[in-house]
Amino acid sequence: MKPFLLLASRDEDVAADDEYAAILRFGALLPGQLHRVRMERGPLPPIDLDRYSGVIVGGGPFNASTPPEEKSRTQRRVEAELTPLLDEIVERDFPFLGACYGVGTLGAHQGAIIDETYAEEVGPVSITLTEDGRSDPLLAGVPDTFAAFVGHKEAVRALPANATLLATSAACPVQMFRIKTNLYATQFHPELDLEGILTRIQVYQHHGYFAAEEVEAVSAVARSREVWAPKLIMENFMRRHARPA
């Protein structure tokens, strides 16, 4: 099969490697079936979408709603390089799954309003599928209500007219949406299980998601609920879009 492409932006090796390993595991992929480009490390190389089965954008430190003058040089470069690639992905309706920062990339590209109104603390939350979500193939096998891990400083406040809302939660109305047929973004993390969120809590304890002295308390909250359903989204994405080499 043609490999999938992971566009990553986590500067911390522990978190970046854990994200890559989790997507491999949940997507039932072999290492050669998931190519990774760490966008924060240097210019995005030329990408021929015809070489791939689909594109995944992982989470990261960038916030789409940060004023341009306050964005780092790295974020400005990454966004400038992603824009023409997203132009092609959207035009072709090429399989795309954005997790967390994927909301900021696909959402911002399509004209969503993204700000800090619906930020969520790190931990598990209850996600509810919409009527459209219950019939969407990427959510096959996912319960109507399920637990997922979140932790974000911004979220979509208003979806563009061409988006279909697939999942929501009490504190964050837009938890998952679809553009066209094959373009998806989730605010929650389909690549995170308990081990993964505990790793992220340790890695990002000084990044403003919570006070550093609250690491143990935040970890305890993460352990308080069983989270298993979101990984089905990753599995469904790979199974649905895998293309022969």
With contact defined as beta carbons under 8 Å apart, do 135 and 230 qualify?
A: no
C-alpha 81/C-alpha 167 separation (Å) is 29
**Where are the extended beta strands (E) located within the chain?**
4-8, 34-38, 55-57, 96-99, 113-115, 120-129, 145-152, 155-158, 163-168, 176-179, 183-186
What's the pLDDT score for residue 75?
95
pLDDT of residue 101: 86
pLDDT in tens, 39-52: 999 999 999 999 99
DSSP 8-state code for residue 225: S
Q: What is the structure's pLDDT at 114?
A: 96
pLDDT of residue 15: 94
> Longest Cα pair distance anywhere in the chain, in angstroms?
49
pLDDT in tens, 200-243: 999 999 888 999 899 999 999 999 999 999 999 999 999 999 99
The 8-class DSSP code of residue 40 comes to G
The whole-angstrom separation of Cα 95 and Cα 56 is 9
HSE-CB at 197 with a 13 A cutoff on CA atoms is 31
pLDDT at 60: 84
CA dist 23 and 6 (Å) reads: 9
pLDDT of residue 238: 97
Low-confidence ranges of the chain (pLDDT < 50): none
pLDDT of 155 reads 95
72 to 62, 63, 132: CA distances (angstroms): 9, 10, 37
* The pLDDT value given to residue 240: 97
Alpha-carbon span 244 to 198, nearest angstrom: 36
Interatomic CA distance for residues 193 and 197, integer angstroms: 6
Question: Considering the entire predicted model, what is its pTM?
Answer: 0.96
